[in-house]
Amino acid sequence: MPPDPGPASCRLQLPGSMRLALAQLNPTVGDVAGNTQLVLEAIERARGDGADVLLAGELGLIGYPPRDLLFRAGVVEACQQAVKQIAAHAGEMVVIVGHPRRSTGGSGVLRNSASVCSQGKVLAVYDKRLLPGYDIFDEDRYFDPGGEPGVIEAAGWRLGLLICEDLWQARDARTDRTYPIDPVDELAAAGCEVMLCLNATPYSRGKWQRHLQQLRVVTDRYGVPIVTVHQVGANDDLIFDGRSVAVAADGSITALLKGWEPDLQTIELSARGAARRVAVSADLVAVPPDAGEVTAELFGALVLGVKDYCRKSGRDEVILGLSGGIDSAVTASIAAAAVGPDRVVGVMMPSRYTSAASREDAAQLAANLGLTRCHTVGIELLHRAVGDAVAPSLGDRAGGVTDENIQARIRGVLLMAFSNAMGGLVLATGNKSELATGYCTIYGDMCGALSVLGDVVKTRVYTLASWINSHHGRCGFDRPPIPQRCLSKPPSAELRPNQVDQDTLPPYEVLDEIVERYVELEQSARQIIEDAGLDPETVYQTVQMIDRAQHKRDQAAVVLKVTARSFGGGRPMPIVMKWQEPEMARPESVEAAKSVGSAVPNPGRKDEVAK
């Protein structure tokens, strides 16, 4: 274990102007050897560019987020050994790399650190000072904060080191959290002429543009350039978009790395600041971005999420049900773009209620995408067999919601059979609106390894579908993949005759506004009614549905996070709770809630809303 080199303040004697390499890498959590190799390869590329300094991402040697893997014996020590290996390969170059470490002589206190390596040594270490503990972040569970600003003097430049939250300071989060110190202000007070930030900030809709705006506030306030290197790729539910960026003292972008893939660029720092390295499209940096670019980002994020989940888990095939509906069509399109159509297995499972239009649309989707393996497995015989088996015991109770959920669960069993036989990962196709309200079936349509659209509300699924068709070439398709009828017909689970979603749910335009306000903005029912002007009973009933469906979400597939507030680890709500806003507890509200039947579940029912 290398000795603790102390606070990150050192003088590095480098001749001439400084060439700074930005290494935007895609680490896999826990693959210390593989992640170290990524850094070593970046060092060689940067050396070929004549770089003096290489900057990599936050916790890049272990991958972000490591979560409780940090408690596993030997993990942190392996990262610290990797730092020594990097120092040995750095040569005259200065390499700044992120990793966890044990401080105070290895006594057990963990830090989120950046080591400054050169000439076979660790010259300095900077420890992250602001540790986020909101949304999906729980760094204050694992790390102690650092105490000293990180300052490096290199080739006549005084450089300041920051790690992620040290720079962003929760200003982009929906939280009241504030910090007692401002590391950026301290670096400016220390006379730093350039600020360097190691990042592992997950993607959410519009965040990159908001962060760019924050960077411009920093450059305007302090009159210094700032360079941020971001992680790229996906780990579990989190997606990292890359797009590392250098912003000059005047707020202009002087370097922009690729989105959604690894990249490395080298810029030169001179007395005039960072020289322009690439021409930057105004469309990429608009604040706020236009609707088309937001949708393009969403598509890129979901494709990367599926691709890396498969690649990093060692699976090269995915399996999903093709219903002829919009959700499965969009999920299949994303899957085909992520792993290739030859690695997507589609399973059509028609029942007695499946319309001819749905069968045709599912087949047309498969043909448009070029899926080479599609299977049709009718569920009629299984449906009848299960119904006949339970009818003697359940009588009339075997119908209605019970019968609808039997169909959904039969389909789940069939998909998992394909998974067991073929080894592919099952993709759940449900959307955020369904997951929010519980309009889904545990062990049925909710089964799978990964929920691709679980953070995308229904109306945005339609927007995404239209964008995919309009930009099919950009998505890698020869033709618009999604049949037009999927976009125009009323959405239906087709679990009973003439069923449509709006028999049970409010119109999706209304439902999605309530979901986004209640879940993503944390607005109360009263706020939603006042701000959006929506019908009070519709709002009350919907938020009750959301709260009562928590037990389903706790058993759902991993949801790819693409909004500021997704279902999953960042929203750990209690399953059993009795809190209600006072106005929601009034008798007329309770009676109205009961009147809509299964749309607002009764306590104690096993599977309240069929889908």
| Residue 240 pLDDT | 98
Tens-place pLDDT, residues 553-606: 999 999 999 999 999 988 888 888 887 777 665 545 444 444 333 333 333 333
> Are residues 425 and 347 part of one domain?
yes
Domain limit, last residue, from 228, 255, 288? 288
Query: Which tokens hold the place of 571?
Result: 């929203």
Q: Can you give the three-state secondary structure of 168-197, one letter per residue?
A: HCCCCCCCCCCCCCCHHHHHHHCCCCEEEE
**Cα distance between residue 539 and residue 596, in whole Å:** 13
Predicted local confidence at residue 606, as pLDDT? 37
- CA–CA separation, 288 vs 24, rounded Å? 24
- Helix axis angle, 458-470 to 326-339, nearest 10°: 50
433-449 pLDDT tens trace:
999 999 999 999 999 99
In a domain, 605, yes or no: no
Same domain, 456 and 523: yes
What pLDDT score does 572 carry?
87
CATH number, domain of 531, equals 3.40.50.620
- Strands 425-428 and 450-451 turn out to be parallel
Please tell me the distance from the alpha carbon of residue 470 to that of residue 490, in angstroms, as a whole number: 21
Quote the CA–CA distance of 274 and 499 in Å, as a whole number.
61
Predicted model pTM: 0.91
In this structure, is residue 607 part of a structural domain? no
User: Same structural domain for residues 315 and 187?
Assistant: no
CA dist., res. 214 & res. 220, Å (int): 10
- Which residues form the domain of 421? 296-599
Note whether residue 4 is domain-resident: no
Average pLDDT over residues 525-554: 95
Tens digit of each residue's pLDDT (9 = 90 or more) over 110-130: 999 999 999 999 999 999 999
Residues 216 and 87 in one domain: yes
pLDDT for the residue numbered 291: 78
In-domain check, residue 609? no
Q: Annotated active-site positions, please? A: 58, 128, 164
pLDDT reported for residue 389: 97
What are the pLDDT digits (tens) for 327-366? 999 999 999 999 999 999 999 999 999 999 999 999 999 9
Task: For residues 284 and 304, state if they share a domain.
Answer: no
263-270, strands of its sheet edge to edge: 121-127, 110-118, 94-102, 53-55, 18-24, 263-270, 273-274
pLDDT-above-70 percentage for the chain = 89
The answer for residues whose C-beta is within 8 angstroms of residue 257's C-beta and 6 or more apart is 22, 24, 230, 242, 243, 244, 245, 263, 264, 265
Same structural domain, 592 and 456: yes
Which residues, 6+ apart, have CB-to-CB distance to 425 below 8 Å? 309, 310, 313, 315, 317, 318, 319, 419, 448, 449, 450
Residue 152 lies in a domain: yes
Mean pLDDT across 48-59: 96
The CA distance from 586 to 590, in Å, is 7
Cα separation, 428 vs 157, whole angstroms: 52
pLDDT at site 304: 98
Give the separation between CA 321 and CA 428, rounded to whole angstroms: 8
On whether both 512 and 561 belong to a single domain, the answer is: yes
State the total domains in the chain. 2
Residues 497 and 545 in one domain: yes
pLDDT for 584 equals 67
Which of 255, 288, 321 finishes a domain? 288
Residue showing tokens 């239209």: 466
- pLDDT computed for residue 173 by the predictor: 75
Element containing residue 333 per DSSP (H, E): helix 326-339
Residue 382 sits in the same domain as residue 411: yes
Q: Report the CATH number at residue 39.
A: 3.60.110.10
Residue type, 223: G
Average pLDDT value over all residues in the chain: 90
CA-to-CA dists, residue 513 to 288, 571, 581, angstroms: 20, 19, 19
Do 394 and 482 belong to one domain? yes
How large is the average pLDDT for residues 399-409? 96
pLDDT tens-place string over residues 459-487:
999 999 999 999 999 999 999 999 999 99
Question: Would you place residue 325 in the very low, low, confident or very high pLDDT band (cuts 50, 70, 90)?
Answer: very high
3-state secondary structure of 125: strand
Residue linked to tokens 């448009």: 368
Residue 386 domain-assigned? yes
Quick one: average pLDDT of 13-21?
A: 71
Q: Is residue 3 part of a domain?
A: no
Q: What is the pLDDT of residue 11?
A: 52
Residue 604: the pLDDT is: 31
Question: Is residue 155 pLDDT above 70, yes or no?
Answer: no
Task: Specify burial of residue 73 (Cβ count, 10 A radius: 0-12, 13-18, 19+).
Answer: exposed
Q: Which two tokens stand for residue 326?
A: 């919009």
547 domain residue, yes or no: yes
Q: Give me the DSSP letters along 480-493.
A: --S-HHHHHSPP--
Residues 40 and 145 in one domain: yes
* Model pLDDT for residues 199-214, shown as the tens digit of each residue: 999 999 989 999 999 9
pLDDT at 5: 58
Q: Which of 288, 310, 345 is the last residue of a domain?
A: 288
- Report which residue type is found at 443: Y
pLDDT at 289: 66
Do both 223 and 346 map to the same domain? no
